[in-house]
């Protein structure tokens, strides 16, 4: 992998039950062509094993939407990164703004989860992004730096490990009325990239870390985001729930 290899990640949040997830996975698998970007789908926990069965022998990777920071133990309701590995996950989304907001996930929790995911052999997809208020106050860059610093505190990557960072401005995530234009992410991407270079060795940033964008992306703008210098993929929520639209996104960057 290099920082420029494109990746399209669909997250189905809590929008689809098991039969719908199976159906969607089948349609995406059927519609995908052999050549193209790396594609990942992240169903709900309860759909993971069934979707994994559908994706078997195909090119689409499986991801989860969260994991716990402890590997095993008496943690009612939590899901171990080991279980995610067992059912075939390669990726896990961590630090999503919806979890930060609704479940009070802190930077410290996210940092612990990242370390656990890496230890267990999952690639974390780490979400960072400012709220509308923070943006209006001119705090966007400092928020991104604080979130990234906290997320990667004490994280060391070896050459076999990868991280994906998803820049997701909270105010642009659907169903927000606000839209982010691709060019508007150029500065923030540079800020994140520079900060990564402050934290990790240059070769690791080049070969093991990809920066992607997420926030109301669809087939009309995915390619424009990915065409930007520091963006090598997109994290897609709403537009990944319909096979035709998700396949159109994939096709647009192929
Ligand atoms: C998300 O929540 O990560 C996301 C990108 O959602 P949407 O594409 O629906 O804005």
We report the CATH number of the domain holding residue 200 as 3.20.20.70
**Nearest in space to 164 (alpha carbons), one of 219, 237, 233, 216:** 233
Q: Is 145 within 8 Å of 104 (Cβ atoms)?
A: no
- Taking the centre of ligand 1 as the mean of its atom positions, its distance from the CA of residue 214, in whole angstroms, is 6
- The answer to whether 110 touches 94, Cβ cutoff 8 Å, is yes
Residue pair 93/86 in contact by the 8 Å Cβ criterion:
no
Answer yes or no: is the C-beta of 43 below 6 A from any ligand 1 atom: no
Per-residue pLDDT of the chain (254 residues; tens, 9 = 90+): 555 689 999 999 999 999 999 999 999 999 998 889 999 999 999 999 999 999 999 999 999 999 999 999 999 999 999 999 999 999 999 999 999 999 999 999 999 999 999 999 999 999 999 999 999 999 999 999 999 999 999 999 999 999 999 999 999 999 998 989 999 999 999 999 999 999 999 999 999 999 999 999 999 999 999 999 999 999 999 999 999 999 999 999 98
H/E stretch holding 207:
helix 202-208
Q: How many domains does the chain have?
A: 1
2 falls within a domain:
no
Q: Give the structural domain span for 50.
A: 7-252
Give Cα separations from 85 to 45, 121, 122, 231 (angstroms): 12, 8, 7, 27
Residue 129 lies in a domain: yes
Task: Report d(CA 91, CA 62) in Å as an integer.
Answer: 7
Q: For residue 28, what are its two tokens?
A: 């995406």
Given ligand 1 and candidates 96, 214, 233, which is best to mutate, with the most ligand atoms within 8 Å of its CB? Answer: 214
pTM score, whole prediction: 0.97
DSSP state letter for 154: T
Q: What is the separation, in whole angstroms, between the first and last Cα of the chain?
A: 17
Residue 15 · residue 46 · CB < 8 Å: no
Q: Which residues contact 91 (CB under 8 A, 6 or more apart)?
A: 9, 40, 42, 61, 62, 63, 64, 122, 123, 124, 125, 164
Judge whether 112 and 162 are in contact, CB under 8 Å.
no
Residue 77 burial (10 A CB sphere; 0-12, 13-18, 19+):
exposed
The reply to whether 1 falls in a domain is no
Residue holding tokens 């095993």? 72
Give the pLDDT score at 2: 55
The rounded Å distance from CA 30 to ligand 1 centre is: 24
Contact 126, 165 (CB under 8 A): yes
168 in active site: yes
Instruction: Please give the pLDDT value at position 1.
Output: 56
22 alpha carbon – ligand 1 mean position (Å):
20
């Amino acid at each position: 992998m290099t920082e420029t290899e494109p990746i399209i990640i669909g997250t189905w949040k809590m929008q689809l039950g098991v039969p719908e997830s199976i159906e969607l996975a089948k349609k995406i698998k059927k519609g995908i062509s052999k050549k193209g970007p790396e594609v990942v789908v992240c169903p709900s926990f309860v759909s993971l094993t069934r979707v994994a069965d559908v994706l078997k022998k195909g090119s689409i990777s499986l991801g989860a939407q969260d994991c716990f920071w402890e590997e095993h133990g008496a943690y009612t309701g939590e899901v171990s990164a080991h279980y995610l590995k067992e059912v075939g996950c390669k990726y896990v989304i961590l630090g999503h703004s919806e979890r930060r907001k609704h479940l009070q996930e802190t930077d410290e929790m996210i940092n612990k989860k990242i370390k656990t995911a890496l230890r267990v052999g999952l690639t974390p997809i780490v979400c960072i992004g400012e709220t509308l208020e923070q943006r209006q106050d001119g705090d966007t860059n400092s928020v991104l730096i604080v979130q990234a610093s906290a997320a990667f505190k004490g994280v060391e990557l070896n050459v076999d490990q990868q991280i994906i960072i998803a820049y997701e401005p909270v105010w642009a995530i659907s169903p927000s009325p606000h839209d982010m234009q691709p060019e508007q992410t150029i500065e923030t991407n540079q800020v994140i990239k520079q900060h990564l270079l402050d934290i990790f060795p240059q070769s690791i940033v080049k070969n093991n870390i990809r920066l992607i964008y997420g926030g109301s992306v669809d087939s009309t703008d995915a390619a424009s985001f990915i065409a930007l210098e520091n963006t090598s993929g997109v994290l897609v929520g709403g537009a990944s729930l319909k096979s035709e639209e998700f396949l159109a996104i994939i096709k647009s960057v192929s």
